[in-house]
Chains A and B, each alone.
Chain A
């Protein structure tokens, strides 16, 4: 019993540390990446004890120290309790969502099979959407509790935008659920190990390319980043819903945005890019379509799978950063039109097409 308990604690810690550190690293990569894109040097001022050589490590240490030692200012006429609660609500969903995302298949240690996923629940995908739908409260409450008109405008924009894109997001995932016939993330990833015609990896994007595009667009909108950063929109609303936040509370909004990006990238990986699947890697080793095989010990297979998941995760995180520094911000009416008049009908059409295809193939 104690072994099982410690396994759960270890998995929890691994996921928690992974997400929190990736969020920190993304804060640095975003600055460095934007500098790269804009032909600057960028983010090279952090120097710990006169040592400025390793920008990433220094930034990872300097950032939290700077944020946490600053004053947490609460606007005098705002709602103090809700003002404190909002950053927690903004940070909580993206962390909790990660509990059902499988980061590997099964690891066998000493005859004990460990499922490399924190919680395997049979409504996994629904759980993700249920929790993700709570993410909007951090924005709305934070905005309202600040007692600031810019904040309130940002919060109202945020709530309208997040609800609109949740619809398209949920409908685009339906196609994947219909193809794989399950709501369990681990089962969806396992099903993606199937090789179509014996050699093409049957990842979700192969069956649902349109759904991937729709989901990706909706995921960017849900994370409230450029080109969808209307709730923040610093050229119109100062800093939107977190105008009145400082110190550690601002850090939670700031890191929460990155945690949201990481969760979105993990979802895209899990649903459309085979999760931890490595092409041709079965449980006992590689089986190439030509007939060749390369048998590997189980630990190495598991390590390869976890690194494949991490590689895909980091790739999509980078794609999010790339998009943020490439596209300009949309106008608000454009955001709403894209969500309701383009993504939603396309998602519905995709759903209908998938249903007809499944009926026709008779799967």
Chain B
């Protein structure tokens, strides 16, 4: 067991515990912050997987921007007073779905070639660098990339149209 694997297990345990905190704490602000911490640990996991670019973007986009907006909304609505009370059967259904998902992932990951594919040595040098990512994105995946950006543009315009006051 080398240092990298130990580091992975440490980070994974940390991330799982933060993720558990997200759903276990009562206060919505606390659970949002636990999610931020989980996303931060995930970024470190990406670093561990030789993907520094993805790690930085993970923090920049999710921890730094998306979650701030989450917090912003939570603070504005102040839902601490609104205690959610879900019926028991819904909790049971959710738990069953989660278990099914976990089993599915475990099934997919247990293939013989998967363990090798997850090893850091299976990727070439320079993998995950901004240059490599840019090369792939703008050579092999130009069309999906452009479609995604158009999709985002549509979302932005839609949001503006929805938020704008109707002028008389």
Contact = CB atoms under 8 A, between A and B. Distances in A.
A54 B76 CA distance: 48
Contact of A123 (B33, B52, B63, B68): B52
Interface string B143-158: 0000000000000000
Majority secondary structure of chain A interface residues (helix, strand, loop or mixed): helix
Given A121-B52, A122-B129, A130 B71 contact: no
A156 B59 contact: no
B69 interface: yes
A123 B130 contact: yes
A113 B73 CA distance: 51
Contacts of B29: 79, 82, 141, 144
B10 interface: no
A61 interface: no
Interface string A122-142: 110011011111101100110
A296 interface: no
Interface string B61-93: 001110011011001100000000000000000
A122 B69 CA distance: 29
Contacts of A162: 68
A159 B68 contact: yes
A122 to B, nearest CB: 6
Contact of B53 (A126, A131, A133): A126
B60 A130 contact: yes
B75 A156 contact: yes
Contact of A130 (B36, B56, B69, B130): B56
B57 interface: yes
Top 9 A-B residue pairs of the complex, sorted by shortest distance between their CB atoms: A133-B64, A130-B59, A126-B56, A130-B60, A130-B56, A123-B52, A123-B56, A159-B72, A133-B60
5 contacts: A122-B52, A123-B56, A126-B53, A126-B56, A160-B72
